[in-house]
Amino acid sequence: MADGDMTDQDFAESDAADGDLPAQISRLEARIDGLAETLERCRKIALVSKAAIAAGAIGMAVMTLGPMRIDPMAMLAAMTAVIGGIVVFGSNRSTSEQTAAGMRAAEALRAELIGRLELRVVDGGLAEQES
């Protein structure tokens, strides 16, 4: 199973025995990046599907209202664009919602894992090292 296909439970269980939190966090960050790319693709697909719906609707309106002669093939193409755009938009929307939910869960798990790290405060930071 690829990292992009792992569930949050898989991430929580992997490396639990040896407590390799930085490796888990790193894999979660890679997964979050993959999900962000998927969301970006979904956004682009939604934009294209909306454009197809609009173009088909405009084409049908123009042919129906008369400025353009009604051509059966053109009308069929316009109806196909509208219906296809609606189908793609609906499918893409559910994918986008599932991806966003997975991303929120992965970010919450990452925050939890970061909270488990025993971080220490460094006094002075670079200012003291340069002195």
- Please count the structural domains in the chain: 1
Please write the tens of the pLDDT for every residue from 11-62. Answer: 555 545 446 888 888 999 999 999 999 999 999 999 999 999 999 999 999 8
**Does some domain include residue 126?**
no
The dihedrals phi and psi of 19, each to the nearest 5 degrees, come to 65, 40
pLDDT at site 71: 83
Q: Which domain holds residue 9?
A: 3-116
State mean pLDDT over 84-108. 94
More confidently predicted of 124 and 2: 124
Is there a domain that residue 124 lies in?
no
Nearest-angstrom CA–CA distance, 45 and 56: 16
Q: Give the pLDDT score at 91.
A: 92
Position 18 in a domain: yes
Query: What ranges in the chain are assigned the alpha helix state H?
Result: 8-13, 21-65, 72-116, 126-130
Examine residue 127 and state whether it is found in any structural domain, yes or no.
no
* Distance, CA of 131 to CA of 19 (rounded, Å): 37
Residue 53 lies in a domain: yes
Structural domain includes residue 24: yes
pLDDT in tens, 49-77: 999 999 999 999 988 887 777 888 989 99
User: Quick one: average pLDDT of 105-131?
Assistant: 77
Q: Which residue from 105, 79, 77, 86 is spatially nearest to 46, judged by alpha carbons?
A: 86
44, part of any domain: yes
Residue 20 belongs to some domain of the structure: yes
